[in-house]
């Protein structure tokens, strides 16, 4: 194609520099993807100019030295991510990803808009369902959603917030424009890596931070705690906030404990809590403590055995009814999954227009809905070109890349779609943008996505500048999920020229860590796991 | 047309459990309060427990009144008594009769989607679908509801002990035996197979058609169905009779799981139901 020819002739190949040797090889897979460091005509993009200058003097051996230092630092910090049951260091690439102030400001506005619309949508879905009554969305779209939890109907949180934390996954398309790939409104994880990656990078590359004005990410927990306290039931003067974890075997336990420590609140498991007369208490060695807000990292299905899985011992019996009575706030709210269903995602433009009267600032990726017969026919016709995804689920499980699938896999996928059209959507293969990534002793383009984190305190939606950049390590791979063996990058949002934002290494923020575990020790309660009910005669 | 509300009934439903070892905590939801609509009027309702507990209340997604209570003192027996007084109307006929095209219109299908879905209790079954299709032949939707109910009534033998609280429509059909819960689920399986929106109704049945005022009879915790053929109307497949004075409805849902009269979670020994009685007295 013309673009390839243009690339091979262009002068952007970074000279004789060995780090970037054959970086923009036109024969590389997905050569039409947008590279965030190099413009095929103009060369190094402005955002990356200083970073590029800093990298140029490095010898290939230096890369390995630096990268070993990073790995050691990560192991010291204890960051691991469970992959198929095995613990291994979460690979942090040494080249950061850079986003300019103006790019960020557009992205941020798009995310805030999205969170506001989804909040309004969830309030409506679990309330009057006006959007259905007005004929904007089919009722069946909602009632057929696996995560539409009828147990949450009529449950209205005191300050109206259901999406205390959102993780909005975005990618950059071939033009470099950000598009939303999926919303995560239940328990989006990964923010601990954002903070820890930054801490590690600052330790290993202090020189790089001196040359850039990178916006700080270490105040995330301050924003989260503020939002959780603001969510507390009215009349609570000093809300007792806890982080509820499924326990030490959960893959994100590290994150749960980090957030609890940074917020200076108790990290608890289900058996540490109990409900009595629609109030929630924490058992401690010093007696019972009323709990006002629970930042839970347990899925809805396991949260309350009275309402969901009756044999779950991870949750707290009676929690949902206590929340319904307004005596405790569950964050994120029960039933948020209806807002991040990938079929409902395709209706985001309608949802935005209905609740906010606005058009999307951040477009979706073009998506086909298998549940509409006409679109399903097209998907089945072009299955070998499209990516098909289950509407529910994350972590890359169940996704079929048409171009990589065998005839047998495609046939199996065709059957799956036909037997459950509501369960699948399809998208063209998006050529995710690339960022230089250390591969061996060279830097190679590798595909990335981005999960920015938004925190809603009811007054405003704060978006942590940056987010988790995930990178697909195998050459040509477009699958960036950490559960599929991907790595990560530190994500730099550059401060605007006139900005008075704290930049990294310019304040005292980095080294400061809030207090560790509180003085009280949780006690355990009995397990509740027997269900009783009676046949109707 | 609404018939005059000419029966007034008192319903006293008592459920007792005994536990093998003391229960130290339990969390319970009761769906035992009769509703009001154009053929039934709830006058008063009360729920009591032994050991005593504070009872909280909410209305669930299906519009059912739910009483919740939890217990924190060790106990080896639990008794739950739900008492109410309701007025019930005589038999009614469906207010509107829809054609098959109307029942299957995109608008009706979208509005009633939840009552056309398959569930664990009401699963899709090839042979039963074929039965339903044959019963539909030459009949309007409302006639089909009556034909299906009669078929279920004739096919199953009323027998306690064969099926349990978790049995599906197919389980009961294969056993050719069951109780009202099974009759209702089997009817729903057939109706949904031919695209008639239909729902499970939980309630009570007064067992004596000609009861005198003041006479108390042993009633039943009962279940029947409602179908949408232009409007919602009920039918009782267990007895192959229309819904009338003797039926007191409490809740509707997709199947039993949505309306379970009493369910709970507790820590302690195995429970046995030691007492389930429904006393119904015609007051007027």
Which DSSP string do the residues of A513-524 spell out, in sequence order? ----S-S--B--
Average pLDDT of the residues of chain B: 94
Question: Contact at 8 Å (CB) between A446 and A434?
Answer: yes
Average pLDDT of the residues of chain A: 87
The mean pLDDT of A202-227, rounded to a whole number, is 93
% of chain A residues with pLDDT over 70 = 85
CB within 8 Å: A153 and B27: no
Q: Please state which of the ranges A228-242, A504-518, B47-61, B249-263 shows the lowest mean pLDDT.
A: A504-518
Buried b (16+ CB within 10 A) or exposed e, B88-109: bbeebebeeebebeebbeeebb
pLDDT score for A479: 79
The mean pLDDT of A314-326, rounded to a whole number, is 97
Name the DSSP class of A464.
Answer: -
Nearest CA in chain A to B106: A138
pLDDT score for A510: 38
Q: Please report residues of B whose CB lies closer than 8 A to that of A275.
A: 27, 70
Question: Contact at 8 Å (CB) between A326 and A360?
Answer: no
Give the span between the Cα atoms of A279 and B57, in whole angstroms. 14
Name the DSSP class of A375.
Answer: H
Whether chain A has a CB inside 8 Å of the CB on B180: the answer is yes
How close are the terminal C-alpha atoms of chain A, in Å? 73
Give the span between the Cα atoms of B80 and A482, in whole angstroms. 51
Take residue A329 and report the two structure tokens written for it.
């706030």
Helix (H, G, I), strand (E, B) or coil at A205: coil
Question: Contact at 8 Å (CB) between A271 and A315?
Answer: no
Continuous segment of H or E residues that includes residue A444:
strand A442-451
Q: How confident is the model at residue A477 (pLDDT cuts 50, 70, 90)?
A: confident
The mean pLDDT of B198-217, rounded to a whole number, is 95
pLDDT score for A79: 58
Give the span between the Cα atoms of B227 and B196, in whole angstroms. 7
Structural fold of domain A368-428: Dna Ligase; domain 1 (3.30.1490)
Give the span between the Cα atoms of B232 and B115, in whole angstroms. 11
pLDDT per position as a tens digit, B158-185: 999 999 999 999 999 999 999 999 999 9
Name the DSSP class of B156.
Answer: S
Name the DSSP class of A38.
Answer: E
Q: Whose CA is closest to B94, among B229, B238, B249?
A: B229
Q: Whose CA is closest to A399, among A489, A337, A299, A477?
A: A477
Q: Indicate the pairing of strand A293-296 with strand A329-331.
A: parallel
Q: Please report residues of A whose CB lies closer than 8 A to that of B268.
A: 530
CB within 8 Å: A532 and B17: yes
Point out the residue among A144, A154, A274 whose CB comes nearest to the CB of B113. Answer: A144
Omega before residue A417 within 30° of 0, cis: no
Can you give the pTM of this predicted structure? 0.92
Q: Where in chain A is the domain with CATH 3.30.1490.270?
A: 368-428
pLDDT over 80 at A526, yes or no: no
Nearest CA in chain B to A321: B68
Q: Count of CB contacts below 8 A, A vs B?
A: 117
Domain boundaries of chain B, sorted by first residue: 5-89+261-282, 100-259
Whether chain A has a CB inside 8 Å of the CB on B15: the answer is yes
pLDDT score for B221: 93
Take residue A36 and report the two structure tokens written for it.
């965030």
Point out the residue among A150, A306, A527 whose CB comes nearest to the CB of B29. Answer: A306
Structural fold of domain A234-327: Rossmann fold (3.40.50)
Q: How confident is the model at residue A17 (pLDDT cuts 50, 70, 90)?
A: low
Q: Whose CA is closest to A299, among A308, A289, A286, A287?
A: A308
Take residue A332 and report the two structure tokens written for it.
């994120």
What is the DSSP code string of A494-517? BPPTT--PPBTTTSSTTT-----S
What is the DSSP code string of A122-163? HHHHTTT-HHHHTTSS-HHHHHT-TT--GGGTT---TTS-S-
The residue with greater pLDDT, B273 or A270, is A270
Give the span between the Cα atoms of A340 and A157, in whole angstroms. 19
The β-bridge partners of A292 are none
Point out the residue among A532, A535, A537 whose CB comes nearest to the CB of B264. Answer: A532
C-alpha distances out from residue B131 to A37, A276, B120, B126, Å: 67, 50, 20, 9
**Closest CA of chain B from A212, distance in Å:** 54
Structural fold of domain B100-259: C8orf32 fold (3.10.620)
CA A456 to the chain's CA centroid: 15
Question: Which residue in the block uniquely carries the two structure tokens 């990356």?
Answer: A48
Give the span between the Cα atoms of A424 and A369, in whole angstroms. 7
pLDDT over 50 at A11, yes or no: no
Q: How confident is the model at residue A58 (pLDDT cuts 50, 70, 90)?
A: confident
pLDDT per position as a tens digit, A370-406: 999 999 999 999 999 999 999 987 656 788 999 989 9
pLDDT score for A473: 87
Nearest CA in chain B to A527: B267
What is the DSSP code string of B45-88? EEEEEES----EEEE-TTS-EEEEEEE-S-EEEEEEEEEEEEEE
Give the span between the Cα atoms of A537 and B163, in whole angstroms. 10
pLDDT over 80 at A537, yes or no: no
Q: Please calculate the CA angle B73-B79-B80 and round it to the nearest 5 degrees.
A: 110
Point out the residue among A143, A276, A533 whose CB comes nearest to the CB of B72. Answer: A276
% of chain A residues with pLDDT over 90 = 68
pLDDT score for A514: 40
- Could you give the ipTM of this predicted complex? 0.94
Name the DSSP class of A186.
Answer: S
Q: Please report residues of A whose CB lies closer than 8 A to that of B181.
A: 535-537
Other C-beta atoms within 10 Å of A217: how many?
25
pLDDT score for A8: 39
Among B residues 16-45, those touching chain A with beta carbons less than 8 Å apart: 17, 24-27, 29
CB within 8 Å: A532 and B266: yes
Point out the residue among A278, A531, A534 whose CB comes nearest to the CB of B273. Answer: A534
Give the span between the Cα atoms of A458 and A231, in whole angstroms. 8
**Closest CA of chain B from A346, distance in Å:** 19
pLDDT over 90 at A26, yes or no: no
Give the span between the Cα atoms of B139 and B136, in whole angstroms. 5
The β-bridge partners of A39 are A43
Q: Indicate the pairing of strand A178-184 with strand A287-291.
A: unpaired
Q: Please state which of the ranges A113-117, A486-490, B175-179 shows the lowest mean pLDDT.
A: A486-490
Whether chain A has a CB inside 8 Å of the CB on B143: the answer is no
CB within 8 Å: B267 and A143: no
What is the DSSP code string of A300-319? GGGT-TTTS-TT--SS-TTH
Q: Please state which of the ranges A71-80, A224-233, B62-71 shows the lowest mean pLDDT.
A: A71-80
pLDDT score for B173: 97
Helix (H, G, I), strand (E, B) or coil at B250: strand
pLDDT score for A21: 83
CB within 8 Å: A531 and B56: no
pLDDT score for A482: 55
Q: Please state which of the ranges A493-497, B8-12, B45-49, B140-144 shows the lowest mean pLDDT.
A: A493-497
CB within 8 Å: A151 and B62: no
Reply yes or no on domain B5-89+261-282 having CATH 2.60.40.2250: yes
Q: Please report residues of B whose CB lies closer than 8 A to that of A321.
A: 29, 56, 58, 68
CA-atom Rg of chain A in angstroms: 24
Alpha helices in B176-225 (DSSP H): 180-193
pLDDT score for A524: 61
CB within 8 Å: B266 and A325: no
Point out the residue among A139, A144, A537 whose CB comes nearest to the CB of B220. Answer: A537
Q: Where in chain A is the domain with CATH 3.40.50.11290?
A: 234-327
């Amino acid at each position: 194609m013309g673009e390839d020819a243009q690339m091979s002739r262009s002068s952007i190949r970074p000279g004789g520099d060995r780090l970037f040797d054959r970086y923009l090889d036109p024969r590389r897979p997905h050569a039409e993807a947008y590279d965030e460091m190099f413009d095929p005509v103009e060369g190094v993009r402005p955002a990356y100019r200083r970073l590029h200058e800093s990298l140029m003097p490095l010898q290939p051996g230096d890369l390995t030295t630096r990268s070993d230092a990073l790995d050691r630092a990560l192991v010291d910090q204890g960051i691991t991510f469970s992959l198929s049951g095995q613990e291994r260091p979460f690979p942090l690439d040494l080249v950061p990803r850079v986003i300019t102030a103006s790019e960020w400001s557009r992205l941020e506005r798009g995310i805030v808009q999205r969170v506001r619309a989804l909040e309004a949508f969830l309030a409506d879905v679990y309330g009057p369902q006006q959007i259905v009554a007005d004929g904007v969305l089919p009722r069946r779209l909602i009632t057929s959603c696996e995560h539409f939890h009828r147990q949450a109907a009529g449950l209205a949180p005191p300050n109206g917030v259901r999406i205390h934390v959102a993780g909005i996954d975005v990618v950059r398309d071939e033009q470099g424009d950000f598009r939303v790939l999926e919303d995560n409104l239940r328990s989006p994880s990964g923010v601990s890596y954002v903070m820890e990656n930054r801490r590690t990078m600052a330790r290993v590359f202090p020189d790089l931070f001196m040359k850039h004005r990178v916006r700080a990410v270490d105040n995330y927990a301050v924003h989260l705690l503020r939002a959780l306290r603001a969510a507390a039931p009215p009349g609570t003067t000093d809300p007792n906030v806890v982080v509820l974890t499924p326990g030490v075997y959960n893959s994100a336990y590290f994150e749960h404990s980090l957030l609890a420590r940074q917020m200076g609140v108790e990290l608890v498991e289900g058996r540490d809590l109990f409900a009595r007369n629609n109030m929630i208490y924490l058992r401690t060695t010093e007696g019972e403590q009323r709990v006002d807000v629970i930042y839970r990292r347990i899925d809805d299905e396991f949260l309350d055995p009275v309402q969901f899985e009756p044999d779950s011992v991870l949750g707290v019996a009676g929690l949902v009814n206590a929340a319904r009575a307004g005596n405790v706030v569950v964050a994120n709210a029960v039933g948020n999954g209806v807002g991040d269903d990938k079929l409902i995602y395709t209706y985001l433009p309608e949802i935005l227009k209905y609740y906010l009267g606005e058009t999307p600032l951040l477009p979706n990726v073009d998506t086909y809905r298998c549940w509409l017969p006409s679109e399903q026919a097209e998907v089945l016709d072009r299955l070998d070109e499209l990516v098909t995804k289950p509407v529910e689920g994350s972590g890359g499980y169940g996704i079929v890349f048409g171009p990589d699938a065998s005839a047998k896999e495609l046939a199996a996928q065709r059957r799956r779609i036909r037997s459950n059209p509501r369960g699948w959507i399809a998208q063209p293969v998006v050529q995710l943008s690339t960022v230089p990534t250390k591969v061996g002793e060279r830097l190679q383009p590798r595909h990335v996505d981005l999960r920015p984190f938004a925190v809603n305190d009811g007054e405003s939606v704060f978006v942590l500048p940056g987010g988790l950049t995930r990178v697909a390590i195998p050459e040509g791979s477009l699958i960036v999920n950490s559960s599929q063996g991907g790595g990560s990058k530190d994500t730099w949002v550059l401060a605007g020229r006139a900005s008075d934002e704290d930049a990294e290494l310019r304040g005292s923020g980095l080294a400061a860590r809030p207090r560790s575990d509180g003085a009280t020790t949780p006690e355990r309660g009995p397990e509740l796991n027997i269900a009783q009910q009676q046949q109707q005669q | 047309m609404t018939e005059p509300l000419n029966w007034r009934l008192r319903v006293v439903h008592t459920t007792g459990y005994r536990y093998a070892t003391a229960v130290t905590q339990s969390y319970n939801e009761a769906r035992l309060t009769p509703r009001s609509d154009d053929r039934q009027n709830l006058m008063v309702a009360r729920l009591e427990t032994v050991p005593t507990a504070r009872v909280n209340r909410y209305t669930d997604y299906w519009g059912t009144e739910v009483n919740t209570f939890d217990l924190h003192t060790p106990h080896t027996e639990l008794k739950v008594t739900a008492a109410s007084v309701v007025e019930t109307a005589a038999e009614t006929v469906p207010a509107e009769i829809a054609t098959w095209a109307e029942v299957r219109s995109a608008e009706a299908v979208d509005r009633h989607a939840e009552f056309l879905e398959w569930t664990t209790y009401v699963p899709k079954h090839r042979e039963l679908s074929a039965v339903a299709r044959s019963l539909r032949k030459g009949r309007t939707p409302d006639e089909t509801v009556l034909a299906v109910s009669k078929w279920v009534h004739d096919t199953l033998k009323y027998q306690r002990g064969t099926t349990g609280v978790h049995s599906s429509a197919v389980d009961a059909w294969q056993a050719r035996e069951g109780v009202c819960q099974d009759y209702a689920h089997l009817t729903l399986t057939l109706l949904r197979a031919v695209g008639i929106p239909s729902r499970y109704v939980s309630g009570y049945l007064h067992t004596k058609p000609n009861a005198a005022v003041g006479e108390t009879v042993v009633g039943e915790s009962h279940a029947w169905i409602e179908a949408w053929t232009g409007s919602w109307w009920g039918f009782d497949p267990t007895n192959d009779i229309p819904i009338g004075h003797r039926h007191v409805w409490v809740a509707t849902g997709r199947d039993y799981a949505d309306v379970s009269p009493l369910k709970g979670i507790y820590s302690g020994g195995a429970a046995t139901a030691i007492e389930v009685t429904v006393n119904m007295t015609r007051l007027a």
